[in-house]
Structure 1
Amino acid sequence: MLARLGSGAASPALFSRLGGGLRALSGAAPKRIAVLPGDGIGPEVMAEALKVLTAVEKISPARFATETHLIGGAAWDAHGVHFPDATRAACGKADAILFGSIGGPTAESDKPKWANAERNALLGLRKAFTLAVNLRPATVYPMLASLSPLRPDIIAQGVDILVVRELVGGIYFGAHTTDGDRATDVMEYSAAQIRTALKFGFEVAQKRRKHLTVVDKANVLDCSRLWRRVATEMAPSYPDVVMDFMLVDNAAMQIIKAPAFFDVLCTENMFGDILSDAASVLPGSLGLMPSASLGETVHLFEPSGGSAPDIAGKGIANPIAQILSAALMLRYSFNMEAEARLVEDAVSAVLADGLRTGDIALKGQPTVGTAQMGDAIVAKMLASKK
């Protein structure tokens, strides 16, 4: 059952679990989850994700042990740092990290509590646990198609994209220098870093529609040419996956113009940052967008949106992105494909029933609060197993 953690346990190896029907057995050690609600709406939406995990325990052999720790502004209040040693240690002992959000009001961004909070905490987590690959799915739900900025005829072709972004290399982590009116930012990649991202891209494509698009700027950049060489070398090992290449400027256009073309899109750090943000607009709300960051010893799962301090404490935030992040955790950290699909199907069913939080409601449409949305998703899960 959901409970506080005890002593440490070994974590799964990077990319060793892509889902495939294996389930937790009754009597097995519970899966250990470090819960980091963070700031703003983080604690509110996290509470709903934990409700969902409790429901998973009721209808499957799965068992979870959780421990909640502080991060971001909440950690600053208690410890004077954004990423305390106790939080780092708990994450290192866990099988997975379920993360909420970080950040405070824009008007207070220069105060010590909030200045560099995201950089210290998020980049600290990425560095500490070598979170080398980021996953950002973007799916347009048919019942929410009117929220998408895309034309109906484009949506009708289907929008279900998974962006796989290399997360610890490239220009963000290269050398940075400034000398008067001259600045330099270095993009650097090794073949090993590229293989890590592409391996996951190929393997997850095998589980989806078997199409991998590698996005680069190979007409200009040597780093991109290395990406193409490594991808070409790896492709024969995945004969069931159709691989193609696309320049990043074209990819930015095609995500809007013809998103149905894409299944899995794999790319380097900066390109992935930009393209995943572009894709995140398509469903109509960040409140629907989960994400995962996969590491060598532990994976992290979080909503793509921010802490939304303007609505924190009002009970109106959309918990779906946090709940779907928990579903990704079930799939990629715990190999619980059936349980992950159960959660995702419950979300779809609730939306099909017409339940809407404020961010996904049309003008004049009734809305529900954070807890009501979470309760409805849990009810669908439980009803599906009666």
Structure 2
Amino acid sequence: MTDLLLLPGDGIGPEVTAQARRVAEALTPDLKIAEGPFGGGSFDAHGSPLTDDTLAAAKAAKAVLMGAVGGPQWASAPRDKRPEAGLLALRAGMGVFANLRPALCFQPLADASSLKREVIEGLDLMIVRELTGGIYFGAPRFIEDLPGGGQRAVDTQVYTTMEIERVARVAFELARGRRNKVTSAEKSNVMDSGLLWRRVVTDLHTRDYADVELEHILADNAAMQIVKNPKQFDVLVTDNLFGDILSDISAQLTGSLGMLPSAALGVAGTPGLYEPIHGSAPDIAGQGVANPLASILSFEMALRWSLGRPAEADRLYAAVGRTLADGARTRDLGGSLTTVQMGDAVLASL
């Protein structure tokens, strides 16, 4: 059985995933690691961004670590064949409905953010994003021609009680092991799906989690509060679209998108999907300058959440902290280390 399936993908994905693999092989040499095609490269080679074999391998592994997918060369591909469609299909196929996106400020990077040090120093925010519902999966969705000229585009935001409740339950359980506070973000003032979201979260809180502090916030206000006073939040739970936006806002608090890992989890006993949130970054792909720390920290999350190795996860997290404390910086952090050199620095810290 494969312990860790690597799906390097496109753009800088193979570059950063290679460094995560080096770390995995050094820290946990007994792990059985395999690799598969995924994304635009898979479309070019096999006619699909997610082949049946790759999906089967993902579902059979203990954990999946992906790089990134997408790029301008696939912009003209049919929508259902684009790399991003493969990513959505992978998330749906694996049933990973809860996306954990931590925004942590490593002490040595407290001055790397565009915000003042006192605003972000000590930041420890966990965003829980619903990942397999909402507007990215809702139907109908289409673009149609209008009789008088022009076109009309339709995307549909759909959520059920079950989808909301299961991701909110993850947020409440996480909060119990942290600072015991959940903030639920939606747009209940203008969206029926937001109104249902607020009702379901409130009912679940009353029924099963009255010991956890719960507050509700409108998603646009949440965006403002994240850049105004991010340390007021502990666990922030929200839908697919708002989670996508708010987690990218939170990424900038840490100094770089290259620092943020993520985990996508399903029901207990099923494999988790782990990925850096920075995307394929085609503008720097192939230059060897991408920051691999988000990929390495995604592996750290895999050790903790899917592979049952918290001690190794703690070692790796501490090693990344030491690496940054020693002054190691890639270009996105204002330094000059290459992707491989940053991988070398983490291995040296280990």
The 8 Å contact of residues 123 and 231 in structure 2, kept in 1 or not, is answered as yes
Q: CA deviation at 1:113?
A: 10
Match of 1:257 in 2: 228
The answer to whether 1:165 aligns with 2:129 is yes
Q: Structure 1, residues 240-280: CA drift from partner, whole Å, max 9, x if none?
A: 42111111121111001010101110011121122112112
Match of 2:82 in 1: 117
Indicate how the Cα distance of structure 1 residues 187 and 311 shifts in structure 2: closer, same or farther if over 3 A, else same.
closer
Match of 1:333 in 2: 306
Indicate how the Cα distance of structure 1 residues 339 and 169 shifts in structure 2: closer, same or farther if over 3 A, else same.
same
| Percentage of identical aligned residues | 45
What residue identity is the alignment partner of 2:195? R
Distance 2:126 2:46 in 1: 37
- The alignment partner of 1:334 has SS state of coil
The answer to whether 1:371 aligns with 2:340 is yes
Match of 2:215 in 1: 244
Distance 1:176 1:103 in 2: 21
- The alignment partner of 2:327 has SS state of coil
Match of 1:20 in 2: none
Tell me the matched-pair count.
Answer: 341
Indicate how the Cα distance of structure 1 residues 188 and 312 shifts in structure 2: closer, same or farther if over 3 A, else same.
closer
The TM-score with structure 1 as length reference comes to 0.82
The answer to whether 1:82 aligns with 2:49 is yes
Q: Of residues 85, 102, 105 in structure 2, which corresponds to 1:140? A: 105
Q: Of residues 298, 314, 324 in structure 1, which corresponds to 2:287? A: 314
- The alignment partner of 1:146 has SS state of coil
The answer to whether 1:150 aligns with 2:115 is yes
**Correspondences of 1:200-211 after superposition (within 5 Å):** 200-211=170-181
- The alignment partner of 2:280 has SS state of coil
Q: Structure 1, residues 49-72: CA drift from partner, whole Å, max 9, x if none?
A: 1122223226xxxx4111111111
Q: CA deviation at 1:130?
A: 1.9
- The alignment partner of 1:215 has SS state of strand
What residue identity is the alignment partner of 2:317? E
Distance 1:178 1:374 in 2: 45
Match of 2:23 in 1: 52
What residue identity is the alignment partner of 1:324? L
The answer to whether 1:73 aligns with 2:37 is no
Unpaired stretches in structure 1, ≥5 consecutive residues: 1-5, 7-30, 382-386
Q: CA deviation at 1:238?
A: 2.9
Instruction: State the superposition RMSD in angstroms.
Output: 2.2
Distance 2:320 2:342 in 1: 9
What residue identity is the alignment partner of 1:201? A
Q: Which moved more, 1:170-179 or 1:263-272?
A: 170-179
Distance 2:18 2:153 in 1: 45
The 8 Å contact of residues 74 and 83 in structure 2, kept in 1 or not, is answered as no
Q: Of residues 278, 284, 293 in structure 1, which corresponds to 2:249? A: 278
The 8 Å contact of residues 135 and 155 in structure 2, kept in 1 or not, is answered as yes
Unpaired stretches in structure 2, ≥5 consecutive residues: none
Indicate how the Cα distance of structure 1 residues 151 and 85 shifts in structure 2: closer, same or farther if over 3 A, else same.
same
Q: CA deviation at 1:184?
A: 4.1
What residue identity is the alignment partner of 1:96? A
Distance 2:289 2:107 in 1: 23
